[in-house]
């Protein structure tokens, strides 16, 4: 969780990439590849929830803030059981 938060803070672009998650941990063997997808899903769900709360559920505004179209937003909401 801390790695993801640090990556968000230090991210140079709008989208997290593999290079944002390195921090030398791969060389040390501290990050298991099997746990990364779960961590990214947790981050994605948290960002969705934050945007939904900020925009009081207005889906167009949520999608705009997240930089995704509405159909992608609906897919993600369904994926996380937030519909």
CATH number, domain with residue 41? 1.10.10
The total number of residues written for the chain in this structure: 83
- Tokens 């993600």 locate to 76
pLDDT attached to residue 14: 73
In whole angstroms, what is the distance from residue 62 CA to residue 56 CA?
A: 9
Please write the tens of the pLDDT for every residue from 12-66.
677 777 776 665 554 444 545 568 888 899 899 999 999 999 999 999 999 999 9
Boundaries of domain holding 11: 2-79
pLDDT attached to residue 28: 47
Q: Number of folded domains in the chain?
A: 1
pLDDT attached to residue 64: 97
């Amino acid at each position: 969780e801390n790695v993801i938060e640090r990556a968000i803070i230090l991210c140079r672009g709008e989208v997290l990439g593999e290079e944002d998650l390195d921090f030398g941990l791969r060389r040390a063997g501290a990050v298991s590849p099997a746990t990364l997808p779960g961590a990214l899903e947790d981050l994605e769900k948290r960002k969705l929830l934050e945007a939904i709360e900020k925009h009081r559920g207005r889906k167009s505004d949520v999608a705009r803030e997240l930089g995704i179209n509405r159909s992608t937003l609906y897919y993600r909401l369904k994926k996380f059981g937030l519909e």
